[in-house]
Amino acid sequence: MGWCKGSLIKQARQFQSALLLASLALSPFAAAQLLDVQLNGLEGESRDNALAWLGVSPETSQARANYLYSAQRKVEKSLQALGYYRARVELELTRSKEPWSLVISVQPGEPVLLRQVNVRLLGDAVNDPAFAELLETSPLQGGDVLNHGVYDRFRRSLTSLARRRGYFEGAFSQARVEVEPVGGVADVSLLYDSGKRFNFGAISYDQDIIHESLLSPLLLIEQGEPFDQKKLRDTQIQLQRTGYFSTVILRPIVDMVDDGQVPLELNLFPAKQHSFDLGAGFSTDTRERLSFTWRTPKLNAYGHQQETRIQYSDVNPSGRFTYSIPVSHPLDDAVQFTARLEDNEFGDLDSRQRELGIRREMRKSDWIYSYSLRGLDEAWNSEGIDRQNDYLLPGISLSQRLHGGSLVNPASGFSHWYRAEAGGANVGSDIDLVRLTANFGLIHSLGEKHRFVLRSNLGAAFVEDADRGQLAPSLNFFAGGAQSIRGYGYQSIGNEVTVENATGNPVSLIVGGDRLLTGSAEYQYSFTQNWRGAVFVDAGDAFDEGDFEGNVGAGFGVHYVTQVGAIRLNIANPVTDDDPSWRIHLAIGAEF
């Protein structure tokens, strides 16, 4: 009896639609009229889905006729997709004025609920933890509203996971949804037979581009191990990161499966042999600057690289040449040969540095550690001072940088860096010395708007009292500037000495200290995604042992976040100065 009633209702609705279509066909003005649609009784996802099924408003008489004929069926289908199988849909058409008006009134009724959900696996996937995790987080649960979109997405997630994990013969033996509209329940039955899991086969590639000994450490896959698409992707990313190639394509050849193994094809396209970059910038520390960089990412099949960088500014013009040779891994282990020329202003001293060095840098997990040897020839002068010394400095360093979110604008992060160098008067240096430095940085966010940035720099140089004056400016410590204690000039804080100038009069000069201790605390508030304000306090000193005097700078700023880091405009006051005045600091780049 219930079936007969439902059948009569359905026939009546079809007859209603046919009458609407016939009235349109008989109208002499049909081609010139449009249609306004009003949908009542639905909201949220069900309303959006119904409008999507209905489509755009018709613009021709034929399109309008088709729209009106199918409107009721489309609304019903849209609701069934979300589990509403007992909806009542009524149409009311008004043609008394232009444009015509169609009112669709919907009573969605109660949704169909999932009663039984039976998802099973056959084949090797039964013992695959990736499938176990997927089934454990299945969105199809008894008692939930039936949603065909959710069901289809879960089906696709099973087949997609199977492809990514190497089950190339997998297929559904059973996949159905049985709906009982009258009872308001539905049963889901999914049976996926994965078959066997295939393994990685041999990799074919062009060995003329790069030597096999250099390529092997970059391949994260081994012949015979279970296929995993993630390892293919990670390998491709590693190869791309070397800079040797413009494009890397690593793909399985599924049509050539042999004995359960999928062969792989690696296509490598070399990067440009040379690249040139021109840059311009400005900061209150070094003022305007121009730079030119020439890179050769792959000089030969063994992955040798070179980078030549020339930078000019009034404060510290410099040039640097770096030649890199991979050792055990192109990305994680390399030897670098460097040559550097640089002029710089340290306090009241003008310094000219010439340096040759060799450094081996290794990465392990998040850590970077290195050991190095550099020969430094530095000359410095000022009123009453004119010196030149040589130093041969072996050293070691250790660092780690962790971050959450964007690399140039992290929501959280912690970095720490340590370095130790030493020199001896009997082994290439003019004096005996030991130099230790450490830097720390912390970023912590509370919600989306509040951000805290903490920094600290520590340093100590140990020399004999008689050799104190022979410690070069670049080996001393200075503070002040946009990256140090704001409110003070660039490298303007340091130990002071009194010397006689050319006329025999005493002058006081800032020559740096053999100790460094600075810290900074900053609070930032984000007004928009790109703009934020900041207030901060910086404090510390560059001093000789036992002569610490606290210098405090405080201020506020505005930051604009770009793809290369934040542009930070800060205004700070040297609070502890006898005659403090405001100073503007401008910096661009990541805070780490």
**pLDDT on residue 97:** 84
Span 365-416, pLDDT tens digits = 899 999 999 999 999 998 878 899 999 999 999 999 999 988 888 999 999 9
Residue 405 vs residues 413, 521, 528, 534, 568: alpha-carbon distances, Å: 9, 21, 17, 20, 19
pTM of the model: 0.77
Q: What's the one-letter identity of residue 271? A: A
Tell me how far apart the alpha carbons of residues 382 and 501 are, in angstroms, rounded to a whole number: 9
Q: Dump the DSSP string for 455-490.
A: EEEEEEEEE-GGGGGGS-GGGSB-B-STTSSTTS-T
The predicted-structure confidence for 313-322, as pLDDT tens digits, reads as follows: 888 899 999 9
- Tell me: do 333 and 425 sit in the same domain: yes
> What is the per-residue pLDDT for 13?
52
Residue 192 has pLDDT above 70, yes or no: yes
Is residue 323 located within the same domain as residue 184?
Answer: no
Q: What is the CATH number of the domain that holds 26?
A: 3.10.20.310
Domain co-membership, 365 together with 513: yes
Please give the pLDDT value at position 7.
Answer: 43
- Summarised one tens digit per residue, pLDDT across range 472-490 is 999 999 999 888 999 998 8
**Domains held by the chain: number:** 4
Q: What is the extent of the structural domain holding 8?
A: 2-107
Query: Are residue 182 and residue 92 in the same domain, yes or no?
Result: no
Per the model's pLDDT, the better-predicted residue between 367 and 578 turns out to be 367
Instruction: Check pLDDT > 50 for residue 28.
Output: no
CA–CA–CA angle 381, 496, 488 (5° rounding): 95
CB-side neighbour CA atoms (13 Å) of 346: 25
CB 416 within 8 A of CB 402: no
Range in 77-81, 400-404, 506-510 with the lowest mean pLDDT: 506-510
Do residues 48 and 140 both lie within one domain? no
- Over range 229-255, report the average pLDDT: 93
What are the tens digits of pLDDT across the range 332-349? 999 999 999 999 988 889
What number is the average pLDDT over the span 555-577?
A: 92
114 forms bridges with which residues in the sheet? 186
Check whether residue 140 and residue 280 sit in a common domain. no
CATH number, domain of 309, equals 2.40.160.50
Q: Which of 145, 169, 193 is the last residue of a domain?
A: 193
Domain boundary among 193, 219, 243: 193
- In the listed set 174, 193, 212, which residue is the last one of a domain according to the structure? 193
What pLDDT is attached to residue 24?
46
Provide mean pLDDT across the span 241-253: 92
86 and 130 co-located in one domain: no
Note the pLDDT tens digit of each residue in 100-114.
Answer: 999 999 999 999 999
Q: Is the pLDDT assigned to residue 20 strictly greater than 90? A: no
**582 is written with which tokens?**
């405001």
Instruction: Assess whether 87 and 145 both reside in one domain.
Output: no
Tokens of 512: 């740096």
| Mean pLDDT on 116-129 | 95
Residues 474 and 560 in one domain: yes
For residues 347 and 370, state if they share a domain: yes
Of the chain, the percentage scoring pLDDT greater than 70 comes to: 94
117 and 101 together in one domain: no
Residues 6+ apart with CB under 8 A from 353: 340, 341, 342, 343, 344, 376, 377, 378, 472, 474
User: Do residue 341 and residue 434 come from a single domain?
Assistant: yes
Phi, psi of 244 (to 5 degrees): -75, -25
